[in-house]
Amino acid sequence: MKASDARAMTVDQLDDEVLKLKKEQFNLRFQRATGQLENTSRVRVVRRDIARILTIARQKRAGDEPKLAAPKPAQTEGAKPARVKPKATAKRRAPVKSRSKPNPKSRAKAKKSKK
């Protein structure tokens, strides 16, 4: 289901659709567990449809429905697309050496262990 189809529905219709999809998801889980599931991609599609419909229902309940985006202007024939400049990459620095002083006790231990 496309988001535009879901946006055309009422909140009650969306709730019914979610219920229907959850039942289908339940059946698909059983089919997968018993090895009868042939179309494995349907599990993913149903899961995403449920999430999409729940999101749209939440937006409708809150009154936060997003406005539809304005259509992009059509390109004229022969016109070249705008060129995008690549982002400047940061220069890599040489690794910084430790500025802390060595521990004199660890030096003494190292000397003793060599003897």
User: For the chain, what are the domain ranges?
Assistant: 3-62
- pLDDT string in tens for the chain (115-residue length): 888 999 999 999 999 999 999 999 999 999 999 999 999 999 999 999 999 999 999 999 998 776 666 666 666 676 676 777 777 777 777 777 767 776 777 666 666 666 5
What CA–CA distance (Å, rounded) separates 29 from 27? 5
Choosing among 2.30.110.10, 2.60.120.470, 1.10.287.310, 3.30.565.10, the CATH entry for 3-62 is 1.10.287.310
What CA–CA distance (Å, rounded) separates 11 from 53? 10
In three-state form (DSSP H/G/I as H, E/B as E, the rest C), the secondary structure along the chain is CCHHHHHCCCHHHHHHHHHHHHHHHHHHHHHHHHCCCCCCHHHHHHHHHHHHHHHHHHHHHHCCCCCCCCCCCCCCCCCCCCCCCCCCCCCCCCCCCCCCCCCHHHHHHHHHHHC
